Amino acid sequence: MLVDHLGRKIEYLRISVTDRCNFKCIYCYTNQNWKWLPHEEILRFEEIEKIARVFAKLGGKRIRLTGGEPLLRRNIETLIEKLSQIPGIIDLSLTTNGFFLEELGEKLKKAGLKRINISLDTLNKEKFEKITGISAFEKVFKSIDLALDLGFDPVKINTVVIKGFNEDEILELAKLTLEKPIEVRFIEFMPIGKNSLWDEKHIITVGEIKAILERFSELIPDFSFGGGPAKIFKWKFAKGKIGLISPISEHFCHKCNRLRITTDGRLRPCLFSDNEINLKPILREGKGTLEEAFFLALKLKPAKHNLNFTLRPMRAIGG
Ligand code: SAM
Ligand code: SF4
């Protein structure tokens, strides 16, 4: 079992399958000096599967595919099919900007993907384009119902809240849960990848978000799933749930249960630290073992994060 030096049980692996993206979200698409990774630097499907199998053998249970935009990775359903068959992996999920769900959703479901997170920061068409750099609000909004129709369960919406951009829409976004059985999750803006927009002044804390939502109606805590960093609530008469994620105002490092694999095959113990272990010499030159790398990652996992900018942009870490 993977238990780190502070007794944290590690059972969740987030794998970035590409650093490419068709969006340029203002909070993510940062560090313009970061060049696209060359093809040969990117982990191949067999390599990802090997890592996932060792993770599962060591007690890992959950895997999420992310990026960049994971649906830009060609034949992603092939990888999903392989990962979904690994004994011990009980939860396989994916985070997407939703743009390609119409084309790929069915294939993903058939391949064994159980659940999905879609990022959506606004309900306003113009603002959507301002935030993401692409005019695709309708397409992305439609992908929520599509994901529900395809039977992904749960379907979660990730919303990064930034002062001056979308804090005026918190209530409207949360109200999506009145009619749809989805979980809308509000995430505090994090300083990843030298983001010139990031400033403590631009953070809306989950405390402030909660206050806005409670003015509408009392939030009832939901303890049915306590495995992740989100605190889950529900309005009494709503079909869906609301998640509040506070990496900044109330960090949850003491119960962090995850490791990350970057697109170019680095095992990253903490989102906020560029301290990584390169798995490619193990995978491609037989130098050392993946087991040793996982145990080293446990030792390197910091007790808590500092609010340092990371060298890598979010899309090359795997958010
Ligand atoms: N492209 C996919 C998407 O947008 O869902 C997956 C990758 S994206 C990096 C994963 C998640 O990270 C998204 O929900 C995004 O909103 C979040 N994210 C990116 N930059 C962030 C930041 N600076 N602070 C908080 N969340 C961030
Ligand atoms: Fe692309 Fe996702 Fe980053 Fe937006 S948040 S730029 S969609 S990787």
Q: Which ligand is nearest to the CA of 166?
A: 1
The CATH number for 158's domain is 3.20.20.70
Q: Could you give the number of structural domains in the chain?
A: 1
CA distance 250 to 312: 23
Angle 101-111/137-149 helices, nearest 10 degrees?
30
Interval 76-105: pLDDT, tens? 999 999 999 999 999 999 999 999 999 999
Amino acid at 234: K
Q: Is the CB of 132 under 6 A from ligand 1?
A: no
Ligand-binding site membership of 253 (annotated): yes
Q: Is 205 among the domain residues?
A: yes
Q: Is the CB of 143 under 6 A from ligand 1?
A: no
What is the arithmetic mean of pLDDT over 135-160?
A: 98
Contact 70, 96 (CB under 8 A): yes
Q: 307 pLDDT band (50/70/90 cuts)?
A: low
Q: Is 2 among the domain residues?
A: no
Q: Is 6 among the domain residues?
A: no
Q: Is the CB of 192 under 6 A from ligand 1?
A: yes
User: Which ligand 2 atom is at minimum distance from the Cα of 160?
Assistant: 5
The per-residue pLDDT for 31 is: 62
**Ligand 1: residue whose CA is nearest its atom 20:** 28
Q: Is 38 among the domain residues?
A: yes
Q: 202: exposed, middle or buried (C-beta count within 10 Å: 0-12, 13-18, 19+)?
A: middle
Interval 264-291: pLDDT, tens? 999 999 888 888 999 999 999 999 999 9
Q: Is 200 among the domain residues?
A: yes
Q: Is 1 among the domain residues?
A: no
Closest CA to 74 of 112, 134, 18, 146: 18
Closest CA to 18 of 80, 92, 69: 69
Distance 289 CA to ligand 1 centre (A): 31
Q: Is the CB of 21 under 6 A from ligand 1?
A: yes
Structural domain for 140, as ranges: 12-317
Q: 202 pLDDT band (50/70/90 cuts)?
A: confident
Distance 287 CA to ligand 1 centre (A): 33
Mean pLDDT of the chain, nearest integer? 92
Amino acid at 246: S
Comparison of pLDDT for 303 and 194, the residue scoring more: 303
Distance 308 CA to ligand 1 centre (A): 17
Ligand-binding site membership of 119 (annotated): yes
Q: Is 270 among the domain residues?
A: yes
Q: Is 4 among the domain residues?
A: no
Q: Is the CB of 318 under 6 A from ligand 2?
A: no
Distance 264 CA to ligand 1 centre (A): 18
Q: Is the CB of 187 under 6 A from ligand 1?
A: yes
